Homo-oligomer: A and B are copies of this chain.
Amino acid sequence: MSVTDELLRNNERYAESFDGGGLPAPPSLGVAVVACMDARIDVHGILGLREGEAHVIRNAGGVVTEDVIRSLMISQRLLGTREIILIHHTDCGMLTFTDDEVKERIQEEVGVKPAFALEAFRDLEEDVRQSAARIQASPFIPHKNVRGFVYEVETGRLREVR
């Protein structure tokens, strides 16, 4: 049995006790969270979020890429969110390599070099500020209420980046 099959069994149990039907699509708290995909972060857990309350956008690094701008644009313009929470975290994989070195390795192995940035970074706080700056610079995000955080995987605590 694959891992996916095991998770589907978990879903059957979830559905049996499900009582969240009938919630509307617009997030009731009017907030969108942008976080790293890291396995140690359960966004609903660390923020005490319940179903229906917030959009959750996640990728490698929690970096504000064009796809995150797309998602935030849809979140704010079509589904009414007004606040943005950015979450990077300690011990992030994105701190362990450089774009150039991984792209070169991929080119050697598969013959094709990614034509996109991998978005590796060297400084956690600085990259949170960079992600906030990309939101500030975007003409497509009407509401610029952004706050950035580093989640400490060692303590479970969010530390604000100023």
Contact = CB atoms under 8 A, between A and B. Distances in A.
Given A11-B46, A154-B21, A83 B51 contact: no
A20 B66 CA distance: 32
Contact of A59 (B40, B59, B78): B59
Contacts of A3: 29-31, 83
B67 A53 contact: no
Contacts of A66: 67, 116
A119 B74 CA distance: 10
B70 A59 contact: yes
Q: How many residues of A sit at the interface, in one of the four size bands?
A: 35 or more
Contacts of A25: 38-40, 91-93
B31 A4 contact: yes
Nearest to A54: B39
A85 B4 contact: yes
A98 to B, nearest CB: 12
Given A26-B39, A67-B68, A110-B140, 11 more contacts: A7-B48, A7-B85, A15-B155, A39-B53, A45-B51, A59-B70, A69-B116, A70-B119, A73-B106, A73-B118, A112-B140
16 contacts: A3-B29, A4-B83, A4-B145, A7-B48, A11-B47, A11-B158, A28-B39, A32-B37, A37-B56, A40-B51, A59-B67, A59-B71, A60-B70, A69-B116, A74-B93, A110-B139
